[in-house]
Amino acid sequence: MELISPMVIIILGCLALFLLLQRKNLRRPPCIKGWIPWIGVGFEFGKAPLEFIEKARIKYGPIFTVLAMGNRMTFVTEEEGINVFLKSKKVDFEQAVQNLVYRTASIPKNVFLALHEKLYVMLKGKMGTVNLHQFAGQLTEELHEQLESLGTHGTMDLNNLVRHLLYPVTVNILFNKSLFPTNKKKIKEFHQHFQAYDEDFEYGSQLPESLLRNWSKSKKWLLELLEKSIPDIKACTSAKDNSMTLLQATLDIVETVTSKENSPSYGLLLLWASLSNAVPVAFWTLAYVLSHPDVYKAIMEGISSVFGTAGKHKIKVSEDDLEKLLLIKWCVLETIRLRAPGVITRKVVEPVEILNYIIPPGDLLMLSPFWLHRNPKYFPEPELFKPERWEKANLEKHCFLDCFMAFGGGKFQCPGRPVAVAQACNLSTLGGRGGWITKSRDRDHPGEHGKTLFLLKIQKIRWAWWHVPVIPATREAEAGELPEPRRWRLQ
């Protein structure tokens, strides 16, 4: 009996613990696990993540968990879950992204946590709406320079055109002119390595570099480029007001708080954050505008009313000018709505209750702006490109439409959103003036296809068979009459 009693107690204790755990699990959201340990449904999820999320929502309801690649990702799709995602102190942005930052930019966890908030405050201040005027003049000058380098006529894939324009413009403004190469061979090399790094960024954030040789090679090339360029970048001063560029201010904080060894890594992170979103936003804005002749015509008429008819003289696009061209800003925001990031994330640090479910610590809480922006409850006729819906937004006070989440939310919204919108607005204004950028008459050469949808940023170019001629002002362009290409598809 003396031996039986302890055994009975142990068995009863284990049974009680099992029942307690089962009870806790009953309060967890439905979980899509798959049958392969650790990998879970990673392969199925990776093939078409956005479609997977929507199918899971329809099948399991407004909250569900996906087990993939060792991560428990709990998706929320309704207001209560969204409010927790944005406002709860039991979820954390920094802890959610620290592993991603380490894998993609080689920034250790302790360094990232020590610097993140300081850098965010600086970036938000320098790129905020109050200081946007400081970028306006240089942005116009840089765009003029790149547009003129194209020549007076020709045909170019729209994706390549936008990269050709915005890569040097963005780098010269935010970093320094000494970073971006000037000869064709070096420019081509920069494009190749950055595109390779950008296109496989998501895989690089999850998989060992040994499995991604080309991506790892491009990452190393970019880090070496930054390491070589940083001394010259730090030595440069503004001829106008002695102010620091965005990269200079970043390096100042990084080297003050930690050491200069981390400078190339933060330079790489800033380079990716600035270029990887600037190109898709501008591309899709131009693509949507060019595919809607009525919108294009209205924009052209607006540009002519503000700047006059096209001529040889250069124009400068100020904030006041853009305020008179609200349709362009509406088009940019509507484009961002339709091509929003697939997911944004937070890490659960304490048990949190959502819709009577308990989300355990360690889960990644996920929100999909892409699908939120397609909810007819918030955006009527969500699949349509309707710039006029933004007339209801109070843009003068920098307030977007309800449930517009393309720039994230909560404490750490995207600090570069004013500059990103301004870039696309300026390119649309200068590129559209006088018909510099219109649809091509060439009906036989589809542009290149984009790659897989990327969850962490503005949606990539998936189907866009476009060629864009660079032509001088014509009556046809000013009238908004657009020759239709034979094959194109926008999703």
- Contact present, 467 and 441 (Cβ < 8 Å): no
Among 265, 214, 246, residue whose Cα is nearest residue 101: 265
Burial of 231 (0-12, 13-18, 19+ CB in 10 A): exposed
DSSP state of 460: P
Closest CA to 285 of 154, 434, 387: 387
* Beta-bridge partners for 437: 470
Helix (H) or strand (E) holding 75: strand 71-76
Q: How many CA atoms lie within 13 A of 149 on its CB side?
A: 15
Report CA Rg, the chain.
25
CA 38 vs. chain centroid, Å, equals: 28
> How far is the CA of 417 from the CAs of 309, 374, 426, in angstroms?
31, 21, 14
Tell me how far apart the alpha carbons of residues 199 and 373 are, in angstroms, rounded to a whole number: 24
Cα 432-434-440 angle, rounded to 5 deg:
65
> Cα dihedral angle (188, 191, 193, 196), rounded to 10 degrees?
-130
Question: Which residues, at least 6 apart from 423, have a Cβ–Cβ distance to it below 8 Å?
Answer: 139, 166, 169, 170, 278, 281, 282
Strands of the sheet containing 63-68, edge to edge, are 31-32, 63-68, 71-76, 364-367, 344-348, 91-92
CA dist 305 and 320 (Å) reads 14
Q: Are 315 and 433 in contact (CB under 8 A)?
A: yes
CA-based end-to-end distance of the chain? 74
414 annotated binding-site participant: yes
- Binding-site residues, in ranges, read 414
Binding residues for heme: 414
